[in-house]
Amino acid sequence: MFQTLKNAWAMPELRKKILYTLFIILIFRFGSCIPVPFIDTQLLSRYFEQASTNGSMLGYLDMFSGGGLSRATIFAMSITPYINASIILQLLTVAIPALERMVKDGGEEGRKKIASWTRYVGVLLGLLQGLSYYALLRNQGFLSDKGVLAAVTIVMTFTAGTALIMWMGEHITQKGIGNGISIILFAGIVSRGPSLMRTLGNLFQTGTSGIVSAILMIIIGIFIVVFIVFMSNAERRIPVQYAKRVVGRKMYGGQSTHIPLKVNMAGVLPIMIGRAARLFDYLVDKEKKYVAECAFGAATDTQDATGKIIATGENYPAFSAVQEAAEHLVGDIEQRPSIFSAIKQDGKPLYERARDGEDVGAPVRIVHVESIELHEETPGHGVRMTIRCGRGTYIRSICDDLGKLTGCPAHMRFLLRAQSGVFTLDSAMTMEEAAAYQAQGTLQSHLLPLDYGIQHMPRADAPEWLRKQVCNGVKLPAKKLPGVLALPEGQVTRVYLRDEFWGMAAREGEFLVWKCLLPPEKEENNANHP
């Protein structure tokens, strides 16, 4: 972590952004200490201390405001009005077709309009919250002056504070590091750390019950942090057993391994169970479809959001410029993936070499990109798109290339594999669903047919009188199978007997030679196949 901070500080552009962010946070904390006039802050603080002890909601609201609510400061409303406004506008975008069209088809202008409306709604909510808070202060007797001038001053100060916080958050996003709204919210919560420690100290001093409460609070806090980290890095290991095979006089295979699947990831992954694994080679080269989000403004060493920033820029491209750049990345293109990739070099993955500190470079490869369809701009200078491509294509490298072509550093923020060959999200099941079916003993009935993923390949139907040859796995006379002789030499085809799938075979001269024999389950015990 410290090395990352040191590297970031060494880059003048990043150092400037960090200092700007810290400056805005300093202003926020300074404003959180300036009280609004006409309010008895001492009585108000004691009131909030009592409310926190009793577990009132006011204590939680005060935490999000960084203590500004309990001291009635100019930033007492904090960033919550803007957050609520953003949620409202997002819900309305889904519910109102006109707003949805504005977001999807309006481009940069549509995004600016939604952002502007969010600010207006945020200020309006800040005004309403200010009025509500003024009513609370008046009813509880915390005002030194209950006149109209005092009321207008208090409410307008709260509202102006809300508007200023929104402005600071947006400026952090544009000129600083990270999402400004999230950083301000985080700064407010962290600032309550000393107060929390003081509360814990008081609990320890109140006796046995207080000590128990303090320990429980510490345990719960640690548990939450550990749980979040665990879920972010969690992976489900799918066991894989390689079947043994005999080559000459030697036996190969038989080892066990696993497929690591991130819990916080989603996408289509064809999993071949049992004998279906023998069809793997006929499925891996098929077209894939991804839904991705490219974020402009920063490039990372991993080319995605998990890596460390290596370059930044603020010359964010227009939607049309990104579209034009995407056209140059369609077809057979040269691609250099990140060194933090699974590409092997001398039998060792590049990411392992990179993490070991080795000086490595990813090789340039030719990959095929069928199409790149841009849909809409997303918050934080992002673009959502759908990419259709072949095997071996790195989507994060496409995002990195888009940044280079537009002149603004970019990385991949989000990725979802929506299709792999004929397998789509519609035909997929979650790991939880698979586990539930397995527990019920019905998993087999929910699996796709053995030949589901190879329907694109030619089909050969063997006559019934060839059943013995089919069952024994011997080569079949091509001329006895309709249409096989017309196939190119070496063409692999699906073989059926009475509409039942039996495996894959390739034409070699006048014969159809088996590549893998997969008899139906009812025939498997009687089949004398290799």
Mean pLDDT along residues 208-228: 73
Mean pLDDT along residues 505-529: 72
Would you state the pLDDT for residue 173? 82
Q: If you ran DSSP here, which 8-state letter would residue 266 be given? A: -
Top CATH class of 457-524 equals mainly beta
- 419, 340, 344, 412: which is closest to 382 by C-alpha? 412
Alpha helices in 140-295 (DSSP H): 148-175, 180-190, 193-205, 208-233
Question: E strand or H helix at 269, and its extent?
Answer: none
Would you state the pLDDT for residue 310? 87
The rounded distance, in Å, linking the Cα atoms of 462 and 227 is 57
Would you state the pLDDT for residue 53? 62
Mean pLDDT along residues 80-102: 84
Residue 264 has pLDDT above 70, yes or no: no
Would you state the pLDDT for residue 158? 93
Mean pLDDT along residues 498-527: 78
- Residue 527's pLDDT band (cuts 50, 70, 90): very low
- 85, 157, 80: which is closest to 124 by C-alpha? 85
Count the helix, strand and coil residues of the chain and give each as a percent rounded to the nearest 5.
50, 20, 30
Q: Are strands 500-508 and 492-497 parallel, antiparallel or unpaired?
A: antiparallel
- Is 287-420 in CATH node 3.30.365.10? no
- 232, 203, 235, 236: which is closest to 217 by C-alpha? 203
| Rg of the Cα atoms in the chain | 32
pLDDT in tens, 378-414: 887 889 999 999 888 889 999 999 999 999 999 998 8
Backbone phi, psi, residue 508, to 5°: -125, 95
Question: E strand or H helix at 258, and its extent?
Answer: strand 256-262
Among the residue ranges 190-204, 414-428, 442-456, the one predicted with the least confidence is 190-204
The rounded distance, in Å, linking the Cα atoms of 26 and 183 is 12
> Count of alpha carbons within 13 Å of 96, Cβ hemisphere only?
11
Report yes or no on whether pTM surpasses 0.85: no
For residues 62 and 48, is the Cβ–Cβ distance under 8 A?
yes
What mean pLDDT value characterizes the chain? 80
Please measure the distance between the N-terminal and C-terminal CA atoms of the chain and give it in whole angstroms.
56
- 140, 134, 159: which is closest to 51 by C-alpha? 140
Residue 150 has pLDDT above 80, yes or no: yes
Query: CA separation (Å) from 310 to 11, 301, 409?
Result: 9, 6, 9
- Residue 36's pLDDT band (cuts 50, 70, 90): very high
Among the residue ranges 177-186, 261-270, 405-414, the one predicted with the least confidence is 261-270
For residues 131 and 29, is the Cβ–Cβ distance under 8 A?
no
- Residue 65's pLDDT band (cuts 50, 70, 90): confident
- Residue 249's pLDDT band (cuts 50, 70, 90): low
Name residue, tokens 């066991």.
239
- Residue 374's pLDDT band (cuts 50, 70, 90): very high
**What is the three-class DSSP state of 408?**
coil
Number of Cβ within a 10 Å radius of residue 146: 11
Map out the domains of the chain as residue ranges: 2-191, 287-420, 457-524
Name the CATH code of domain 2-191 (choices 1.10.3370.10, 1.10.1040.10, 1.10.3720.10, 3.40.50.2300): 1.10.3370.10
